[in-house]
Amino acid sequence: MLLEIQNLTKRFGGLTAVSNVSFGIERGEIIGIFGPNGSGKTTTLSLIAGILKPTSGAILWKGRDISTLTPFEVAQQGLVKTFQNPQLFPELTVVEHMRIACHLHIKRALGLGRLRTLFGGLPADLEQTLSRKIDEMLELCRLKGQRNDEAGALSYGGEKMLGVAMGMVCDPELLLLDEPASGLGHDEITNLDAVLRDLKSHGVTLCIIDHKVGFLGRLADRSIALHHGAVIATGTTADVLANDAVIAAYLGKKHA
């Protein structure tokens, strides 16, 4: 098992946002996470990515508990999360954002020696490697034509895709995507669908939150449904979406 979550709980004061959640992710899978607003989806992924610390429970990455690591240390292990609303710098270009996201590579390659690059720039071989990697990820995420556009000029779909490209440039083994399809139009969703399938064929394991039942229903091999912070169904995506408790959580008991 690549990732194993055991009895994960997160309380904010009196509110239990994630309650005793357990599930696993195998290498190469696409896992979907469903659930109505406020059901604990983002909190679960933020706990996995080290952005929040669990109240209790374990997060095992290749068998080792990573629940005390910082987000940077978690990313270094190969586990990267994108954000529900990417916070971009409107006046920086697409490629400049990609350079910022390369920090992990630069730190890994140069350690403290990277401080010298403030004056002299990056060593030529590292510069070349990063440029190649950035071009590859922009191509994969269909952003090559916009590489020199300012982030402020991107459509919402373009912004979200840049968030995915920035995550991908960190070389994740597991990419956690928080509602990549929300707010996108039909064509942008078709594009996202193709990009995510390409990421999978690149060998990346994906865990995707979404409300769009059709979109994630087509994409995810297996799914987990959350309600009030707890797991109410797991299994193949088709079974989870047909589950009475899941339908009731989304539409109310009458419809189930």
Ligand X SMILES: Nc1ncnc2c1ncn2[C@@H]1O[C@H](COP(=O)(O)OP(=O)(O)OP(=O)(O)O)[C@@H](O)[C@H]1O
Give the interface with ligand X as residue ranges (CB under 6 A): 12, 15, 17, 35, 37-43, 84
* 43, interface contact from Mg ion, ligand X, none, CB < 5-8 Å by kind: ligand X
> Which of Mg ion, ligand X, none has residue 9 at its interface (CB below 5 to 8 Å by kind)?
none
Minimum CB separation of residue 51 from Mg ion in Å reads 12
If contact means CB under 5 to 8 A according to the sort of partner, which of Mg ion, ligand X, none does residue 35 touch?
Answer: ligand X
Shortest CB 48 distance to ligand X, Å? 12
Shortest Cβ 33–ligand X spacing (Å): 8
From 42-50, 151-159, 218-226, 243-251, span contacting Mg ion (CB under 5 A)? 42-50
Cα-trace Rg, the chain: 19
Counting contacts by CB under 5 A, is residue 46 touching Mg ion? no
Binding of residue 42 to Mg ion (CB under 5 A): yes
The option from Mg ion, ligand X, none interacting with 40 (CB < 5 to 8 A, set by class) reads ligand X
Residue 17 CB, shortest distance to ligand X, in Å, is 3
Q: Which residues lie closer than 8 Å to 134 by C-beta, 6 or more apart? A: 95, 98, 99, 102, 169
Q: Cβ 42 to Mg ion, closest distance in Å?
A: 3
Is 237 one of the binding residues for Mg ion (CB under 5 A)? no
Say how many residues touch Mg ion, by CB under 5 A: 1
Q: Which is nearer to ligand X, 38 or 123 (CB)?
A: 38
Q: Which is nearer to Mg ion, 15 or 118 (CB)?
A: 15
Cβ 150 to ligand X shortest distance, Å? 28
